[in-house]
Structure formats: C-alpha cells, structure tokens
C-alpha cells in the first residue's frame, strides 16, 4: 500500500457502548459512500496507539488524523498531538498529518451557518 493514505477519525469515545456505535456507524457510512476514493478507520482516544501500530503494520505510509472534536482542548493537545508525536519519533518512515478540530474548519463553520437559516 505504498504511497496510500489512510484517514484515521479519532472520537472521544464513551463508557456506553451504544454511544460509540454512532461513531462506528458514521465511519462505515463514509466507507459505503466513497468506497473507492479513500481508506478510513475509526478509533477512540483510548486506542490511538494500538490503532496507529495496526495501520503501520498493514502497510500504509501516510496517516491523516482527523480529530472528531469540536474544540482544540486538552484531548486534542495532550492526547492526540502528544501520542502522535511519540509515534512519529518511533516511526520516522511514516508521514503523519493532524487535521484541525471542527471549529477550525471553514466547511464546518459553513455547515453550522446553513443550519441556522
């Protein structure tokens, strides 16, 4: 899978399995909507490291992390960025990009604006 990118959507997660099912269903709906266009995976904060290891072991060399967080708070900075930086240091052959949180994305702002009409 050399030169292929996988998009890793990171959700907060919940102690309630039924709540987590919504995140998994969201990820599956994206795969079904765009099956040939991109690779994607869903994970939760408590499984970032093992998920990154599985992605690396499956042969992807580019990982785009998409934080499914509204704001760039402590989970974004302390969990996602710090864990990803540690992973990068130990896997320098991989390219890793971390996307912005939702409020920092112009399309999300436009989506919310359209909901207010």
The CATH class given to the 5-115 domain equals: alpha beta
Q: How far is residue 72's CA from residue 8's CA, in Å, rounded to a whole number?
A: 17
pLDDT digits (tens, 9 = 90+) for 90-117: 999 999 999 999 999 989 989 999 999 8
pLDDT digits (tens, 9 = 90+) for 3-50: 689 999 999 998 988 889 999 999 999 888 877 778 999 999 999 999
| Burial zone of 106 (CB within 10 Å; 0-12 exposed, 13-18 middle, 19+ buried) | exposed
pTM: 0.89
Which H or E run contains 19? helix 17-33
Tokens representing 18? 């039924």
Any idea of the CA torsion for 44, 50, 52, 56, to the nearest 10 degrees?
-150
pLDDT of residue 32: 85
């Amino acid at each position: 899978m050399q030169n292929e990118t996988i998009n890793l959507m990171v959700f907060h997660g919940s102690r309630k399995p039924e709540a987590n099912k919504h995140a998994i269903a969201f990820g599956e709906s994206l795969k079904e909507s765009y099956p040939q266009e991109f690779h994607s995976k869903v994970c939760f904060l408590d499984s970032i490291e093992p998920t990154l290891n599985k992605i690396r072991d499956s042969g992807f060399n580019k990982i785009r992390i998409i934080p499914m967080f509204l704001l760039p708070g402590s989970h974004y900075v302390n969990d996602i960025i710090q864990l990803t930086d540690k992973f990068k240091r130990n896997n320098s052959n991989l390219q890793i990009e971390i996307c912005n949180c939702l409020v920092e994305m112009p399309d999300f702002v436009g989506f919310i604006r359209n909901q207010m009409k």
